[in-house]
Structure 1
């Protein structure tokens, strides 16, 4: 049986976007941006808080990425590069190196590369990787 490991995404919510921070074993990995919380409306909302298994997925637009396949009422949710949630995201999560406002950041490709390096390493050491999404402070 594969060992389970958890990445923690702690979020803060705003009208223009959702900002977060991913940690692994207490170590900062990257910040994240997402759409505002709009009750899980497809293409308009961040995904609900919860625990999600991450899986390797191949997408036409983004190539091979980290997918979040089991989101209730949603499909094709993945982690990919973007620096402005309202302009570039349709429900996915974008890692960034620096937050610059609600749903905005910079250095997304660099942050994505670092996150993928970690997740792929965990997969290659025969671990199941989960993303636990919580409100900041809970």
Structure 2
């Protein structure tokens, strides 16, 4: 089973920004909601180790779901650009930027398609989420 790491490098009102590593190499950037204590639909998930499983979302199509998040369900990796595009999920993008005055991840649709192609044939993978911005403080 492949192992991926999500390294959260910045947290604040604009969201939680990170880098997703695949096989130990930076692969893309991420955006999640800010940390609001794992509150459903409005917060990022707690740091920890998770299993992600391939699912079909009626809204986002084929993607991966982060399983066994305490008190939460339907946490997906999907396309989106700004924190308002996620209800607790992880957005994937090629680079950080801004859209209409909001901090964002850009080229998200293409990045998700490339991510799914990269994981073709994989039904699940291990994901370690680390809050490196807090570790450094």
- Provide the TM-score with structure 2 as the length reference: 0.86
Contact 1:35 1:103 in 2 (8 A): no
Structure 1 residue 103: Cα displacement: 5.6
Contact 2:4 2:24 in 1 (8 A): no
For 1:21, the equivalent position in structure 2 comes to 19
1:30 Cα offset (Å):
0.4
Among residues 65, 75, 81, which one is paired with 1:83 in the alignment? 81
The Cα of 1:104 is off from its aligned counterpart by: 1.5
How much has 1:118 moved relative to structure 2? 2.1
Classify the secondary structure of the residue corresponding to 2:31: strand
- Segments ≥4 residues shifted beyond 6 Å: none
Where does residue 129 of structure 1 map in the other structure? Answer: 125
Structure 1 unaligned segments of length 5 or more: list them. none
Give the secondary structure class of the aligned counterpart of 2:109: helix
Aligned to 1:72: 70
Q: TM-score, normalised by structure 1?
A: 0.86
Gaps of 5+ in 2: none
Match of 1:60 among 34, 58, 61: 58
Q: Which moved more, 1:8-17 or 1:97-106?
A: 97-106
- How many equivalent pairs are there? 130
